[in-house]
Amino acid sequence: MEIILTHKESEEFFYNALCNGLGYIQHYGLELDYKKADYQSAKSKLESLCYEDVLMQILKDGNILTLTDIECDGEYTRSITLDDVHSRVQKTPIGFLMDMINENYDAETCDVVIQSVFYGDIIFG
């Protein structure tokens, strides 16, 4: 079974994953990173100063987000664009993706979505 998401749906699910799953990645020795100038530029375009809103605006502005591996010599460092969000959220393992669709998700589900977008697979946890 394959689920095809619209760009809007992919962005919404990734946004929700950021809101609820970013804390998990810290346990894996990963940090979310971006250029300071990209963050400032994105932040200036928003009324909301919610961190996740700014992260999504960075992507919408055509810039990248990077998960930086701070424990394993960069082995798991990966960067993404908004196009990656559009193409990879729907490749999240079906059970977790259905939880997102049905709004029955938790931090673990969100962690899986984040990993699917950045790695195309579940590497941690």
Q: In the prediction, which pLDDT does 113 show?
A: 98
pLDDT one-digit tens code per residue, 21-37: 998 888 999 999 999 99
Q: How far is CA 105 from the centre of its chain?
A: 15
CA-CA distances (angstroms) from residue 66 to 4, 30, 81, 97? Answer: 25, 10, 9, 22
Regarding predicted confidence, which is higher, 46 or 48? 46
Percent of the chain past pLDDT 70, that is, above it, reads: 100
**How confident is residue 62, by pLDDT bands cut at 50, 70 and 90?**
very high
For residue 90, give the DSSP letter.
Answer: G
- DSSP per residue, 2-60: -----HHHHHHHHHHHHHHHHHHHHTTTEEEE--HHHHHHHHHT-S---HHHHHHHHHH
